[in-house]
Structure 1
């Protein structure tokens, strides 16, 4: 075989996430661990397998009929292709099969465009457009390309990877959802599982079950926590539709630090024991906790800390005591602040020391009122500096144990809470640390119903602040 022919049967990984997911899907279909292990023979076999899956739809009248999985998916993936032409209803099964075979065949080298592949720079075998490239420009749009070009030049292995992409994705709700990472060692098993699920779905009756909230993000979180090795890159969640009715693309990224931290909630015992409490803290009436944790892991990373703190206050207002789970959550919260929010370990230690002093100060009063006043001062619009100024005298003259620091709020701590770029997360961490210290001291507050209502108002205000 010539070098050019060999290149048209050899898969290379490129800078395209869709092509990469497709490459690992091809490897799975060929029963090898990595795209680089695909020989020319295996590559030919696996592309033939994908073609046979499409050919099986030739005898299907409608996409909703049994065996119509890939016909149904084709309207979202490959609109106006040979599998779903406008005149399909008038074609015979044999005619449909012939068109599909033509579509998926390796182009004759005599017809190659003489241009490099847009993905891997090897000789392209054809010009391609939207029919084969998800969200690509139509090859009919000549004004989007240079004169003489009829779309995007791709080699056969790269376009085959794009054809394989949906095997490595979840196809539901008119959209394809794929998990991608630049960490190949992680991408391989995640794609392998996706291929297995897609092949199973292609053989099963249509599933009309409505997914739960943030189901896509939750699936990615589950994949990260189930992974058995260290993650060396972030995790992308890609959701797209290439249909004529809806051109849609949304990408979200779970950064490497948070992905690795989520893994640690499985591998490290002191974090594993608090994970369910963390999950419960993220929940709302409408969204389960783990689903919201997944959503926040792809969004504002500080929201996980903020929501955990607000949840403890919510439960305090409901029961009149700080939940004992605050102590179990501590290893998770402090590690999250250091490893994900990039707080300096020494700064976290300073906040913990300050929280110990505040717990000593607040814990000497069995009423809930002073605690509520501190929390209200720590909310947006509150005067936390004024609160510290008034309490510093109390600390110096009456409350401070001999073994504790003389100054309630040293200059270094003041800077963390008021002058630092992370001042607001530092304040939220202080709220958590104070509650943890009060639980550790077995503080059992007493007070009126009105004081509990005040705590509920503070918790609501904190939640409102976090949603701004």
Structure 2
């Protein structure tokens, strides 16, 4: 019997992201790196710590008062629980404490004879009780039993799994009436991310409430995931999920986004590899809009549209040509980032990238024979939406044969294999954007700059905008 009871205090990682985050949060509260290291005593001490945090709200009248952090969070996480009943304003502090202990104290665990004789819905060990919305984020109320199997009075859970669900908010960012959680199936990554979140949540809970006018933070939650990936010091082996939810009675909300493993690992490499660190800030600047900072937009695109990162980078550099009258000198420094992104994130074949770079060298040799911005702008216009890139290549192939060209370059400007990359491949649009970047890089390395009036460069700005899809903030 002692073994059966001890199992209720031993945490197992399950297939539930929230339970997993909560398990690592419990470990952090107990001062150990991994849930596997939670002994029965350490588990109980972590639950006691969470219970003390709730008990401290017994003296608080309103959630906005000092010490009201967990009371405020309870309306979003545990509506209609024993710490926030409708009659709470009429209760004495001692009454509030008594109700919280009844709800959360591990000493109130039912005797095995009173258990429901069904397995835990998460870990398949014996469940100790039926649970519902009060304890399970986005779970059904135990009053609505048409959502459960016949004879089930809610969702059966063991004590360690429900305690993990109680703990998950410590591993989350609680703001704006919602909880945002970073999760990954890579435990080595999840552990430090959750540990940092617990540290921040505890600090926020202890801080005095400050009334300030909120400033708009574009894609702040996505940005937090980007920062977590870039600050990690080991290889990331799995994708990273951003889970945002609310369990309140006013709003049941759940949104799950995933940053794929390739882009998460690539982002990490921008801090660990010296050849990529230098160009990161330039890449970030290229992602910005008039209202959204570049790193925030990079984070957003990492989740929703990874190809847009390449498109925006090419458009940004081209826009600089129009605004400043020169090709950006930092284009070659961006090359390790751009080419690695295409191969590692956009899954372009390394040989295809090499072909595009070779084609860009030929185009740079062709365009570089004329210092006027017209030929350069003509290529960019042909590559834009509505442009006739194929027609441009047909006409320029003749010029390539007639004009002086480097002896080591072939007579054919656009071989069949390159044609397929730009016009027949499923990644043709991204291949063309990469070609735009590669041509600018090759021209900068050759020392070419457009020599013309501001008027001659004006329309390049319009071309730059046409290189990317319309994107709202």
Q: What TM-score, normalized to structure 1?
A: 0.98
Which of 275, 289, 298 lines up with 2:303 in the alignment? 298
Structure-to-structure mapping, 1:224-243, within 5 angstroms: 224-243=229-248
Match of 1:388 in 2: 393
Distance 2:135 2:457 in 1: 61
- The separation in 2 between residues aligned to 1:401 and 1:322, in whole angstroms, is 22
**Aligned equivalents of 1:240 and 1:282: distance in 2?**
28
Structure 2: 5+ residue stretches without partners: none
- Paired with 1:399 and 1:429, the residues of 2 have a C-alpha distance of 26
Q: How many residues are matched?
A: 467
Structure 2 match to 1:414: 419
8 A Cα contact 1:175 1:240, kept in partner? yes
2:192 paired with 1:189: yes
Farther-moved stretch of structure 1 (349-358 vs 146-155): 146-155
Alpha-carbon separation, structure 2, partners of 1:374 and 1:201: 54
Instruction: Output aligned runs, 1:320-331, within 5 Å.
Output: 320-331=325-336
Specify the alignment match of 2:4 in structure 1: 4
Write the distance in 2 (CA, Å) between the matches of 1:14 and 1:453: 58
Provide Cα deviations, 1:257-294, integer angstroms capped at 9, x if missing partner.
Answer: 11111111111111011111111111111111111111
For residues 399 and 32 of structure 1, the distance between their equivalents in structure 2, rounded to whole angstroms, comes to: 70
Partner of 1:249: 254
Could you say what secondary structure the match of 2:467 adopts? Answer: helix
Post-superposition offset of 1:353: 0.2
Query: d(CA) in 1 for partners of 2:235 and 2:33?
Result: 18
Per the TM alignment, residue 143 of structure 1 is displaced from its structure 2 partner at its CA by 1.2
| Counterpart residue number, 1:51 | 51
> SS state of the match for residue 239, structure 1?
strand
Aligned to 1:276: 281
CA RMSD of aligned residues (A): 1.2
Q: Matches of 1:48 and 1:466 in 2, distance apart?
A: 49
Partners of 1:447 and 1:211 in 2: how far apart?
41
Q: Which residue of 2 aligns with 1:71?
A: 71
Offset at residue 171 of structure 1 (A): 0.7
Give the C-alpha shift of residue 109 in structure 1.
2.3
Does the CA contact (< 8 Å) of 1:306 and 1:466 recur in 2?
no
SS of match in other structure, 1:273: helix
Question: Secondary structure at 1:49's aligned position in 2?
Answer: helix
Report how far residue 213 of structure 1 moved.
Answer: 1.0
Counterpart Cα distance in 2 of 1:139 and 1:466: 44
How big is each residue's C-alpha offset from its partner over 1:383-407, in whole Å with a ceiling of 9 and x where there is no partner? Answer: 1111000000100121422221110
1: CA distance, partners of 2:439 / 2:416: 19
Aligned pair partner of 2:437 in 427, 432, 435 = 432
Contact map agreement 1:379 1:465 (CA 8 A) in 2: no
Match for 2:116 among 113, 118, 123? 113
The answer to whether the 8 Å contact 2:285/2:294 transfers is yes
Q: Which range is displaced more, 296-305 or 211-220?
A: 211-220
Note if contact 2:433-2:467 (Cα within 8 Å) is conserved in structure 1: no
CA contact (8 A) 1:380 1:465 kept: no
Q: Decide which of 321, 339, 349 is 1:344's aligned counterpart.
A: 349
Q: Is the 8 A contact 2:24 2:34 kept in 1?
A: yes
Unaligned runs of 5+ in 1: none
Mapped to 2, the partners of 1:391 and 1:299 lie a distance apart of 37
Q: Is 1:354–1:408's contact at 8 Å kept on the other side of the alignment?
A: yes
